Amino acid sequence: MKSTMPILTLEKVSKRFGGLHVVDDLSFCVPRAACTALIGPNGAGKTTVFNLVTGVYAIDAGRVLLDGKDMSTMASRQRIYHGIARNFQNIRLMPHRSALENVLVGQHCRNSGLRGVLQPVNLIPRNRWREEARAALADSGLAQYERAAVGGLPYGLQKRVELVRALLAKPRLLLLDEPAAGLNPRETDELQERLSVLRRERGISMLIVEHDMNFVGALCAHVIVLNFGRRIAEGTPDQIRDDPLVREAYLGVDAKPRPLERHAS
């Protein structure tokens, strides 16, 4: 049983743009069925790591392993079929289509091929894929926005739609790029709760890029800190908070060290 193998492993991964090493000899593991945070000042290379893991960029050196399987050269399109789904830092939905139609895209990797493509999801009300998507929206409190054009929805709701889309792919590993950015405190709490539940009940592993250290502390057991494309620290949220290297990296930029609160649920 591979239950202790990390869901994601980066081995000495490097990525250069021109002369700049955006990711430099980076190695870390993401434990399975857990929530891991990837933090670091702006420009540390966090989104680039996501792009490397999802295949948007090709790696210059090193390997990326999903559940022990080397996917370093796998086409970006294939990766979702192996269980990696993600959201995007700036929301990327189809603005003129409804929430339902948007999240239906998430099912594509489970319903592809000729039969999948011709699935009458928008024609027959009782179609099971449609029903599944509707239920997923309802689970996230988005049922009333099913038919609303997504471009007209408030930012926080759009973020929720994007999350539902990613979840409908039934991923093993969820990559979340600043999922709490732009959310008010109530929405942030709801998101944190939701993600905890997903992790517990469905065993989804998560790798989250975030700046909100309270959010991270409440949700993630493990934190990896990046700066200039390298890993400078790793540990529990408390350990990271006390790490002088981390403070130095953040000096004058983002989160000042302060007690991390556990949220009363």
- List the structure tokens of 15: 């990525």
Q: How far is the CB of 62 from other proteins (least distance, A)?
A: 21
- Residues in a beta bridge with 236: none
Tokens 């997504």 map to which residue?
150
CB of 90 to other proteins, least distance (A): 11
Angle at 171 between CA 165 and CA 172, to 5 degrees: 155
Asked if 84 and 77 touch (Cβ cutoff 8 Å), the reply is no
Can you tell me whether residue 218 is helix, strand or coil? helix
**Cβ distance to other proteins smaller for residue 19 or 125:** 125
Residue with smaller CB distance to other proteins, 106 or 229: 106
Coil, helix or strand for 209?
strand
Q: Smaller CB distance to other proteins: residue 108 or 247? A: 108
CA torsion angle for 16, 41, 221, 14 (degrees, to 10)?
10
Question: Distance between CA atoms of 219 and 224, rounded to whole angstroms?
Answer: 14
Contacts of 186 (CB under 8 A, 6+ apart): none
Q: Which residues bind other proteins (CB under 8 A)?
A: 54-56, 76-81, 86, 88, 92, 94-98, 101, 104-106, 108-109, 111-112, 116-125, 134, 143-149, 165, 169
Spell out the residues 6+ positions from residue 192 whose beta carbon is closer than 8 angstroms to its own. Answer: 180, 215, 218, 219, 263
Q: How far is the CB of 108 from other proteins (least distance, A)?
A: 5
Q: Between 166 and 180, name the residue whose CB sits nearer to other proteins.
A: 166
Give the ranges where the chain is alpha helix by DSSP (H).
Answer: 46-54, 76-79, 99-104, 113-117, 128-139, 155-167, 185-202, 213-219, 237-242, 244-250
Q: Which lies closer to other proteins via its Cβ, residue 72 or residue 196?
A: 72
Q: Which is nearer to other proteins, 192 or 205 (CB)?
A: 205
Taking the complex as a whole, how short is the minimal distance between the CB of residue 74 and other proteins, in angstroms? 12
**Nearer Cβ to other proteins (127/196):** 127
- Alpha-carbon span 228 to 80, nearest angstrom: 28
Residue 203 CB, shortest distance to other proteins, in Å, is 21
The least distance separating other proteins from the CB of residue 55, rounded to whole angstroms, comes to 8
**Residue 69 Cβ, how far from other proteins at the closest point, in Å?**
17
